[in-house]
Amino acid sequence: MLLRLGAVVFLLAFFFFFAGGGLWAPFSGDDLMNLHGHLQEGALGLFQGIVFYWSTTYRPLGGIFYLSLYKLFGFDPLPFRIVCFALLLANLALTFRFARTLSRSPEVAAIATLLVSYHAWFVDLYYSSGTVYELLCFFFYFSALLYYIRIRQTGAWPLPWQWAWLCLLYLGALNAKEMAATLPLFLVIYELLYSPPAGRSDMGRWLRREFRGALLTGILTLPFVIGKLLGAGSLAENPAYRPAISGGKFLDTFHLYLNPFFYQDHYFRDSNTAQLVLLMLVVGIWQKSRLLLFSWSFLLLSVLPFIFLPHYAAFFMYLPSVGWALFVAWMIVSLRKLLWRGVCSISLKMERVKEPPGWPAGPILIFLLLACVLGIAHRAESPNTLAHFRSVQPPAREITAELVRELPTVPPGSRILFLDDPFPPGDYNLLFLVRLFYDDLSLEIGRRKAGAVPPEDDKPYDLAFTFTGGRLARVPVPNPAP
């Protein structure tokens, strides 16, 4: 019990040491866009999107997150960050339970959780509530997968109400983000590895029994995929989300993700990426390890919803990272046991030596050593990724503070002109921010900046601001209303 508590405290300290600064992060550009979009959709539209989950409503479960917190706490980023961090911690707990359930080893589970706990290139997860879709998807996805596996490990099949609960969890994941659509695939892979058919003559029985989970969730997935790809206003209409499916595209994109994932700069190419993946498969087959083969399948196939897209973001690897963590954790523990037996066999001339009773010194030492190695790597990489993240974010906190100081309220439906502002031309974040700050989507915002969103100068403005030296200041309206 004391050892378990110590591991939990250590993991929490490790996580908050590297990611804790994100708890105080301001609204990101994605936050402003998402919150504004979900407010336009409205609560009724979001709930309809959850029920009719195949519709093109944009990730309605995340919309409920944004809308509910905004209505409860207003334009304050802290409540959003607190909920996101609660999800991050819940997902770490799920990672541990999932790894322990599959491996039946607390040591493998602890190492896998340590590996997943923080990654410098997942900076958006820690500093932007705009990744709440990933966090919610991860939570419901692994809740559903773990729920199914735990039932199957007892040798039983889900009861009708358990099937219903599994479907609800899966629908939660689908309503959070599209990458949840791979769940049926891994229900099939799990059954193939852990309850394979006895032979060709057994295939019919296997399909009727072991295939039921995949069939049920697959039936839910089919309208989701069709609706999201072919529905009016679907993500597929956005060039950044239009897939280009080919084997070459898969391999090329896969190695592009591996470089930041392993803190490498152009080390991985198509050739050595293919070699690495094949080597991992060979190790899994050689070890006859169902855990390794499942992990290998997961890290390779859970990327399918985004691997063919031209839009890249390192934190897309958040969910697939569990497969990598499981594989690596199993290998580390196996090598530690092999080394222990080898050292003891040489020193004591014994073929097999069990670890001494009491505190497992070997596992603790390896865990702490791995934490040190990871900590050094994270510490070296984190300033770069955080600096890059901040460099592309709007000055939301600064402008909000200036609006509080200069003009805390405006009449509904006002037209506001900004003669100068710190936002790039063509950027809509100023429009989103001002509307969200005043909680009024009817506000009209004009900008007098080269290349900016053009103001409608044929209509009079009610208010005008300029931005100088980091301060907003009201100025006379160039075209006052009569």
Digit-by-digit pLDDT tens for the chain (482 residues) are 777 888 899 999 999 999 999 999 999 999 999 999 999 999 999 999 999 999 999 999 999 999 999 999 999 999 999 999 999 999 999 999 999 999 999 999 999 999 999 999 999 999 999 999 999 999 999 999 999 999 999 989 999 999 999 999 999 999 999 999 999 999 999 999 999 887 777 788 888 888 899 999 999 999 999 998 887 777 667 776 778 888 889 999 999 999 999 999 889 999 999 999 999 999 999 999 999 999 999 999 999 999 998 878 999 999 999 999 999 999 999 998 888 776 666 655 544 545 554 457 788 999 999 999 999 999 999 999 999 999 999 999 999 999 999 889 999 999 999 988 889 888 899 999 999 999 999 999 988 876 665 555 567 888 998 888 888 988 888 755 44
**Is 464 part of a structural domain of the chain?**
yes
If we measure between CA atoms, which residue out of 43, 74, 41 comes closest to residue 436?
74
Measured from the Cβ of residue 222, the count of other Cβ atoms closer than 10 Å reads: 12
**Is 94 part of a structural domain of the chain?**
no
Domain of 433? Answer: 396-474
Total structural domains within the chain: 1
**Is 340 part of a structural domain of the chain?**
no
**Is 462 part of a structural domain of the chain?**
yes
Handedness of CA 97, 100, 102, 104 (dihedral sign): negative
C-beta of residue 117 within 8 angstroms of C-beta of residue 11:
yes
Residue 266, Ramachandran bin (φ over 0: left; ψ between -120 and 50: alpha; else beta): left
**Is 424 part of a structural domain of the chain?**
yes
**Model's pTM, two decimal places?**
0.93
**Is 369 part of a structural domain of the chain?**
no
**Is 442 part of a structural domain of the chain?**
yes
Instruction: Return the biggest CA–CA distance within the chain.
Output: 100
Distance CA 185, CA 149 (A): 14
Place of tokens 């010194």: 361
